Amino acid sequence: MVRYALTYGLYFLLLAQTVLAQDGVSFEAKVSKQELGINERLRVDFIMNEDGDNFVPPSFDQFHLLGGPNQSISNSWINGVRSYSKTYSYFLSPKNKGVFTIGQASIEVAGSVYKTQLIKITVTAAVEQPKDPNDPEYVADQNMELVAELSNPNPYLNEAVSVVYKLYVSDDVYLSGLNILDQPKYNNFWSQIIPINKLEIERGTYKNRSYNYVVVSRAVLYPQKEGQLTIEPLSLDISLEVPSQQRNMFGGFLRQTVRRTVTAPSRTIQVKPLPEVGKPENFSGAVGTFDFSMTASPEVLKAGEAFQVKLKVSGKGNLKLLKMPEFQLPSSLEMYEPERKENINTSLTGMSGDVTVNYTVVPAFRGEYPLPEVHFDYFDLASKSYKSISSESLTIEVTEGPVNNGAVSNFSEDKTPKSNTKAFSGFKTQTAFQPIVTPNFFNSKSFWLWLFIPLLMLPIVLLFKRRREALSADVVGAKSKSDWKMAHRYLKEASSALGDSKRFYEALERALYNVLKSKLKVPITALNKEGISQILAEKKCKPTTISELNSLLQSCEFARYTPSALESMNSDYEKAAVLIVELSKI
Q: Which CATH class is domain 136-271?
A: mainly beta
Q: What is the pLDDT of residue 335?
A: 87
CATH top class, domain 475-583: mainly alpha
Q: What CATH class does 287-398 carry?
A: mainly beta
Q: What is the model's pLDDT at position 439?
A: 63
Q: What is the pLDDT of residue 435?
A: 65
Cα-flanking dihedrals φ and ψ of residue 332, to 5°? -85, 5
Indicate the pTM of the whole model: 0.52
Ordered DSSP codes for 474-540: -HHHHHHHHHHHHHHHHHHHHHHTTT-HHHHHHHHHHHHHHHHHHHH---GGG--HHHHHHHHHHTT
Round to whole Å and give the CA distance between 386 and 380: 6
- Domains in the chain: boundaries: 2-124, 136-271, 287-398, 475-583
Which pLDDT score is estimated for 1? Answer: 42
Which residue in 580, 455, 446 sits closest to 508, CA to CA? 580
In which residue ranges of the chain is pLDDT below 50?
Answer: 1-22, 407-427, 474-479
CA 161, distance to chain mean position in Å, is 22
CB 335 within 8 A of CB 293: no
The CATH number of domain 2-124 is 2.60.40.10: yes
Class of residue 142 by CB neighbours under 10 A (exposed 0-12, middle 13-18, buried 19+): middle
What is the rounded CA–CA span in Å between residue 317 and residue 172? 43
Hey, do 136-271 and 287-398 end up sharing a CATH topology, with the first three levels equal?
yes
Strands 375-380 and 287-297: parallel
pLDDT at position 300 is 92
Residue 247 has a CB neighbour count (10 Å cut-off) of 10
Query: Would you give the distance in Å from CA 565 to the centre of its chain?
Result: 23
pLDDT at 315: 95
pLDDT at 470: 65
What is the Cα–Cα distance from 564 to 347, expressed in whole angstroms?
Answer: 33
pLDDT for position 17: 38
